[in-house]
Amino acid sequence: MSTPQASLDPQAVSEPPVHASVEPWLYWLLLPLHRLFLSLFFGSIVIEGIKHLPTQGAMVLAPKHYSRWDPVVLAVLSVEPLWFMTNANQFSGWQGWLLPRLGAFPVDVNQPKIASFRYAIALLQRGKKLMLFPEGGIVRDQAVRSLKLGLARLVLQAEALSSERLHIPIVPIAIHYQPAPVWRSHVTITISPPLYTVDHQQRTDKQTAQALTEALEEALLKGL
């Protein structure tokens, strides 16, 4: 999910808080049903490069966004809960009750609020696995939409505000459906080596964010 270019200083503005949680009873009840559903709906799900996925600590999973199926499929990457920044228009009806209880929190993609990114930073500082779609939405008409600096800025800010020396991995993930995201299709998830801000350090944070964003875009293209 792309983020605004403004500062993500948690004290910058006063906004209603963003909140999500993972209800343990609900999560562990749905986990086996989720795995069963994936095995019945899709022909196969193959994960390539699983060795590149960090096993613990804070991280940002940065997948290509091809379909509304993506979050459902990519949840297979972890038995532990993943936290999702999700388009605010998905939080209505029964989804509005379910999603926040499974670790999803809203962002208005048209007018992003600092509160959403403040919450994402707090999750990373608590060592959570955060999934953001860096293209900012579903993209099918091109391999990878040109990425904005938001995700990189978010990680830089989370590291800067941490009382510990955090080095948060950004994990590029490509997802491919053959022939399409439909019944009995075959899914390939390709995980590339994680990116770290320290490896793309430039003279200014803006330049570092630019270098990191370019590296993420290149990694996503290679994985497709």
**3-state SS, residue 157:** helix
In-domain check, residue 113: yes
Contacts of 187 (CB under 8 A, 6+ apart): 42, 44, 45, 46, 73, 175, 176, 177, 178, 181
Is the confidence at residue 185, as pLDDT, over 90? yes
In-domain check, residue 70: yes
Question: Residue 143 is part of which domain span?
Answer: 43-223
Q: Using alpha carbons, select from 212, 214, 172 the residue that is nearest to residue 189.
A: 172
Range 173-191 average pLDDT = 97
Where does 77-145 show beta strands of DSSP type E? 83-87, 104-107, 129-131
Spacing of C-alpha 164 from chain mean position: 22
Is the confidence at residue 15, as pLDDT, over 60? no
In-domain check, residue 209: yes
Report the CATH number at residue 114.
3.40.1130.10
In-domain check, residue 217: yes
As a whole number of Å, the end-to-end CA separation of the chain is 19
In percent, how much of the chain has pLDDT > 90? 81
In-domain check, residue 68: yes
pLDDT band at 111 (very low <50, low <70, confident <90, very high): confident
Look at residue 12 in the predicted model and tell me its pLDDT: 41
pLDDT band at 157 (very low <50, low <70, confident <90, very high): very high
In-domain check, residue 60: yes
Range 8-21 average pLDDT = 58
Look at residue 13 in the predicted model and tell me its pLDDT: 41
Is the confidence at residue 2, as pLDDT, over 60? no
Tell me how many domains the chain contains.
1
In-domain check, residue 5: no
In-domain check, residue 9: no
pLDDT band at 58 (very low <50, low <70, confident <90, very high): very high
Look at residue 16 in the predicted model and tell me its pLDDT: 58
User: Tens of pLDDT along 142-152?
Assistant: 999 999 999 99
Look at residue 163 in the predicted model and tell me its pLDDT: 80
